[in-house]
Amino acid sequence: MQQTWRLFDRLASSYDEVVPFFASFGRSIVSALDPPPGCRFLDLGAGRGALTDPALARGCRVTAVDAAPGMTERLAAAYPSATVLTFSLGFSDELPLPAASFDLVAAAFVVHVLDDPAAAVASAHRVLAPGGRFAMTGGGHPSSGFVSGLDDLFATFTPHLPPGGSMGALLPPAALLAGFDDVHEVIVTSEVHIPDNDVLWRWVMSHGYRAFVEDLPPGPRASFEDHVRELPLGDGMLRRSSSLWIGTKPSG
């Protein structure tokens, strides 16, 4: 987790600034969860506020937690009505929050990069009130347009990574959510416009994809950049879909 949060700390000033990709996902996620006003909402791995912003707009009482100080400094400045915490040890440790103190815990695009996803989900379960909900993203869906070509590039260059390179791993949502009732999946989407290949490259380097690029040896790294800069963009719409897994903490 140390290496992961340090990467995102470096990216804090540009994260979701090139194009509002995660903000678009955040609106879709909060819309799917539909929290009521006054909901005690915990945003785990809050980043620059993709979930915090729409949750506050719905009248939720938001606590936003991130491991990267650069993220939380900007969160606190942008959202003074939220409670912002820097938890730099990683979410595999116990969250420094009271038990049964939240109605909804959401973790968007974070659980898969943690050292111990199961421990993180267990910690979320502890801080949820009985009947509260936990939501996490997990698993993408087939892409179309130029995004499909971008995915193909990542697959092509993956063999150049050193052992343990890049970050994140495939998650088993059903196993992770075994302690919850009514576990179900909904599909959330993000759609933003990429005007040209320079913006596409800057976007690739402004979030977690950067770990992939930086872990490539110099030759393949330069070739990967060249391919991204030459990728046909079609209508320029970056469209992605993701699974959002939701479970309810038993009331008994």
Give 8-66 as a DSSP string: HHHHTTTTTTSS-HHHHHHHHHHHHH-PPTT-EEEEET-TTTTTHHHHHHTT-EEEEEE
Residue 186 DSSP class: E
pTM given for the model: 0.93
Where exactly are the structural domains of the chain? 2-248
Query: What is the rounded distance in angstroms from the CA atom of residue 60 to the CA atom of residue 28?
Result: 16
181-193 vs 237-248, strand pairing mode: antiparallel
Q: Which CATH architecture has domain 2-248?
A: 3-Layer(aba) Sandwich (3.40)
CB neighbours (10 Å) of residue 196?
11
The rounded mean pLDDT for the chain is: 92
CB neighbours (10 Å) of residue 88?
16
The secondary element (H helix, E strand) that includes residue 133 is strand 128-140
Taking only the tens place, the pLDDT of each residue in 51-109 is 999 999 999 999 999 999 999 999 999 999 999 999 865 554 578 899 999 999 999 99
